[in-house]
A and B are shown apart, each in its own frame.
Chain A
Amino acid sequence: AQSVTQLDSHVSVSEGTPVLLRCNYSSSYSPSLFWYVQHPNKGLQLLLKYTSAATLVKGINGFEAEFKKSETSFHLTKPSAHMSDAAEYFCVVADLTGGGNKLTFGTGTQLKVEL
Chain B
Amino acid sequence: DGGITQSPKYLFRKEGQNVTLSCEQNLNHDAMYWYRQDPGQGLRLIYYSQIVNDFQKGDIAEGYSVSREKKESFPLTVTSAQKNPTAFYLCASSRRESTGELFFGEGSRLTVL
A interface, CB within 8 angstroms of B: 9, 32, 34, 41-46, 49, 51, 90, 92, 94, 96-103, 105-108
Q: List 5 A-B contacts (CB under 8 A).
A: A42-B107, A43-B106, A98-B98, A100-B98, A107-B42
Residues of B in contact (CB 8 Å), total 25
Q: How far is the CA of A43 from the CA of B4 in the complex (A)?
A: 10
> How far in angstroms is the closest Cβ of chain B from A97?
7
Residue of B nearest to A108 (CB): B42
CB neighbours (8 Å) of A90 from chain B are 42-43
Which of the listed residues A45, A46, A49 has the most CB atoms from chain B within 10 Å of its own CB? A46
Asked whether, in the complex, the Cβ of A43 is within 8 Å of the Cβ of B42, the reply is no
> How far apart sit A92 and B45, CA to CA, in the bound complex (Å)?
13
Residues of B within 8 A of A106 (CB): 42
Please indicate the chain B residues that have their CB under 8 angstroms from the CB of A99 in the complex: 50, 96, 98
B4 nearest CB across to chain A (Å): 7
Whose C-beta in chain A lies nearest to the C-beta of B96?
A99
Counting from the closest, the 7 A-B pairs by CB-CB distance are A43-B104, A96-B98, A105-B42, A94-B100, A105-B43, A44-B104, A107-B42
- Bound CA span A107–B39, Å: 8
Q: Give the shortest distance, in Å, between A24 (CB) and chain B (any CB).
A: 14
Measured between C-beta atoms, what is the minimum distance from A47 to chain B in Å?
A: 11
Q: Does B2 contact A (CB under 8 A)?
A: no
From B40, B98, B107, give the contact of A108 (CB < 8 A).
B40
Residues of A within 8 A of B101 (CB): 34, 46, 49, 101
Shortest distance in angstroms between A10's beta carbon and chain B's nearest beta carbon? Answer: 10
A49 to B43 CA separation, bound complex (whole angstroms)? 18
Q: Are B40 and A107 in contact (CB under 8 A)?
A: yes
Known contacts A43-B105, A44-B104; is A101 also within 8 Å of B42 by CB?
no
